[in-house]
């Protein structure tokens, strides 16, 4: 029943999204639905990759080899989608970013450059750099989720930044739990999983 409802929701959002594109108009609500849906798909992907780890050297070996080969490209796509998504929310949807949103942006945007250079073979060893940026991003995103869930702030969230809003304020809530920090958290975790798969791929190649 739950799968059926999720399937119906996916088709409904996809149909609405395609109609908006064809008619050259996209409401903020439709775009938010679509990005939230991408986050859920990403979360499901991470869960499947983690659950499949015990079989990565046996029945799922081919699948993990394919994922590892494309992992760096996948991490770059996640980073660039996260960057453009955050810019859409602030510049088009007019959701004012809070202080924690800015910190998460600061940790995400450089990854577009680092991963882009890695793809261009100009910076092969980005694993440590990406892990540090994502690790810090996860800490901030988890804290942001905590605040939006009603938690008490450990330190005051400054509103001195231009257009800044309270960090505990939710701009939207999709599918019952997806918010902007949940999307950011998903992106950071996806990039970590991808970069670790990439590392495994390069280590395997170097030993052969």
Segments making up each domain of the chain, as ranges: 32-203
| Distance separating alpha carbons of residues 197 and 193, to the nearest angstrom | 6
Tell me the pLDDT of the chain (208 aa) as tens digits.
Answer: 434 444 455 445 444 544 544 343 568 889 999 999 999 999 999 999 988 887 777 878 888 888 888 999 999 999 999 999 999 999 999 998 999 999 999 999 999 999 999 998 866 678 999 999 999 999 999 999 999 999 988 877 765 555 567 889 999 999 999 999 999 999 999 999 999 988 876 655 545 4
In the numeric block, the tokens 């800490």 are attached to 139
- Is residue 29 helix, strand or coil? helix
CATH code of the region 32-203: 1.20.1550
Contacts of 55 (CB under 8 A, 6+ apart): none
pTM of the shown model: 0.82
Q: Distance between the two ends of the chain, CA-based, in angstroms? A: 47
- Note the residue count of the chain: 208
| Distance separating alpha carbons of residues 204 and 31, to the nearest angstrom | 40
In the numeric block, the tokens 């990406």 are attached to 130
């Amino acid at each position: 029943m739950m799968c059926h409802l999720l399937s119906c929701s996916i088709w409904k959002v996809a149909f609405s999204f395609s109609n908006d594109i064809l008619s050259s108009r996209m409401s903020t609500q439709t775009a938010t639905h679509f990005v939230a849906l991408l986050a859920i798909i990403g979360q499901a992907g991470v869960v499947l990759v983690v659950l499949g780890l015990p079989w990565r050297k046996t029945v799922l070996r081919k699948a993990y080899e394919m994922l590892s080969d494309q992992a760096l490209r996948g991490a770059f796509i996640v980073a660039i989608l996260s960057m453009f998504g955050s810019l859409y929310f602030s510049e088009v949807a007019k959701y004012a970013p809070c202080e924690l949103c800015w910190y998460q942006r600061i940790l995400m945007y450089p990854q577009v450059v680092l991963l882009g250079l890695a793809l261009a073979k100009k910076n092969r060893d980005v694993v440590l750099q990406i892990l540090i940026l994502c690790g810090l991003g996860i800490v901030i995103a988890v804290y942001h989720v905590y605040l939006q869930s009603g938690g008490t702030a450990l330190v005051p969230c400054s509103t001195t930044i231009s257009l800044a809003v309270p960090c505990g304020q939710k701009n939207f809530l999709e599918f019952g739990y997806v918010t902007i920090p949940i999307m950011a958290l998903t992106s950071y975790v996806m990039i970590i999983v991808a970069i670790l798969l990439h590392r495994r791929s390069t280590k395997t190649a170097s030993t052969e």
